[in-house]
Structure 1
């Protein structure tokens, strides 16, 4: 009887040449920066962001786009939630991309936050279910010098920005009032679903990482994204969403 020894292969075993071949991406076209955005509105966000780039093309894997910003090469993907975000950051981490930028929206956990304010997390609590697999078991930090650059550029555009502790939770649908109250009393600024993943995977691959997320939900007053925004809130939200991508591109100029 012939014995059989199963041979298992992990995604972790796939190296850069294999990923490049799979994506039909030349080594000289490895992006300088990868920008990921967490949003339900995938097509709207993708069309909006790609309109700022030149020579845009979709790579062999769907919804992963390559383009140019001035003399820099940029990858963009609208990646909602940790399970999709990890794939994008891991892939470009293997390839040697230098900077990962997380953008999107978040829920504000402190009453002084208003729609359109921009959170730049310094420390992120890892409640995403992915970060521990990359060595970030409780909390993970962003890259300080890149956070400072991003904050400076946002303030030059007239935005209110806040730095501090943020939490990445696994699902919008499983945030309970008790959780949100505990996060609020702990002094945590905000919550969303991707930043801890981006920071943890980027750190694993020695990539710099920064997150800029715009306050949408006002959780201290029970207002979720389904509820109407206060007067001027929509305009502030849209302006913040525009600026975080502009600043992500501007950061690439420092590479």
Structure 2
């Protein structure tokens, strides 16, 4: 572990206290990290808001130290944050995000727990070869499933398509660029036939980093778009059910303790 203040995170080992956390909840949105800190952490403290990568430290009710960190949007930003978190001694990371369903039976408002990712991300290729598996930690993944069952949260377990772009990469045409490359036309239907559940933008790189760096990673996402019917983001579902994914992840950490 390093005591120096890391360039992107804006804090170092000396800022983490005498019993530093070894587990982090990682969110793309800094507001989600803030919500976790203010809702679940006792004695929460802002470590840094450097570059919008807001990070908080505090204790759960059982006394376990926890880091609520922000990855930013997309795999390149996440790869920087995760590298620096591991330098500081973090050994377990649960990503809490949002996603778009590509299966009829995975409705908006439910959560997807990723057991592995189809990884179509340039950042991941700098970590490991294309054929290197992007797999979640099986123990954290099973723990997420068990926590969802305990809390009565609708969940779906399966494979995630983790891609670099929100629009073209997820076959969206309602954007500034309605002209998709031929390689992306029909990609969603192809993924659906491969039994892939959802689109998101970070888990594949996170999982590959976990394998190479030797830490445990898992991913849980709230479904905020039902891509079998529309490209629209359903903000009400995000607001109403986004807390479920957080609650499930917190229950996992409580059970681990």
TM-score range, shorter chain: 0.7 to 0.9
User: Contact (CA 8 Å) 1:146, 1:209: kept in 2 or not?
Assistant: yes
CA 1:18–1:204 in structure 2 vs 1: closer, same or farther (change >3 Å)? farther
Match of 2:34 among 44, 47, 52: 47
- 1:59 counterpart = 2:61: no
User: Contact (CA 8 Å) 1:34, 1:89: kept in 2 or not?
Assistant: no
Q: Which runs of 5 or more residues in structure 2 are unaligned? A: 172-184
Q: RMSD in angstroms over aligned alpha carbons?
A: 2.3
Q: Deviation per CA, 1:112-150, whole angstroms, max 9, x where unpaired?
A: 111111111111011122222222524411011111111
User: Contact (CA 8 Å) 2:151, 2:248: kept in 1 or not?
Assistant: no
Instruction: Give the drift of 1:29.
Output: 4.2
What SS class does the counterpart of residue 221 from structure 1 fall into?
Answer: coil
Please report the TM-score for the alignment, with normalisation by the length of structure 2. 0.80
Instruction: Give the drift of 1:218.
Output: 0.7
Q: Which runs of 5 or more residues in structure 1 are unaligned? A: 1-14
Partner of 1:147: 141
Partner of 1:187: 195
Match of 1:81 among 40, 61, 74: 74
Query: 1:183 and 1:140 mapped to 2: Cα distance?
Result: 16
Runs of 4+ aligned structure 1 residues displaced above 6 Å come to: none
User: Contact (CA 8 Å) 1:126, 1:132: kept in 2 or not?
Assistant: no
Query: 1:26 and 1:180 mapped to 2: Cα distance?
Result: 43
State which drifts further: 237-246 or 113-122. Answer: 237-246
User: Contact (CA 8 Å) 1:121, 1:165: kept in 2 or not?
Assistant: yes
Q: Deviation per CA, 1:62-115, whole angstroms, max 9, x where unpaired?
A: 212222223222122232211221122111212221210001110101111111
Partner of 1:250: 251
What SS class does the counterpart of residue 197 from structure 1 fall into?
Answer: helix
Instruction: Give the drift of 1:173.
Output: 2.1
User: Contact (CA 8 Å) 1:38, 1:193: kept in 2 or not?
Assistant: no
State which drifts further: 193-202 or 176-185. Answer: 176-185
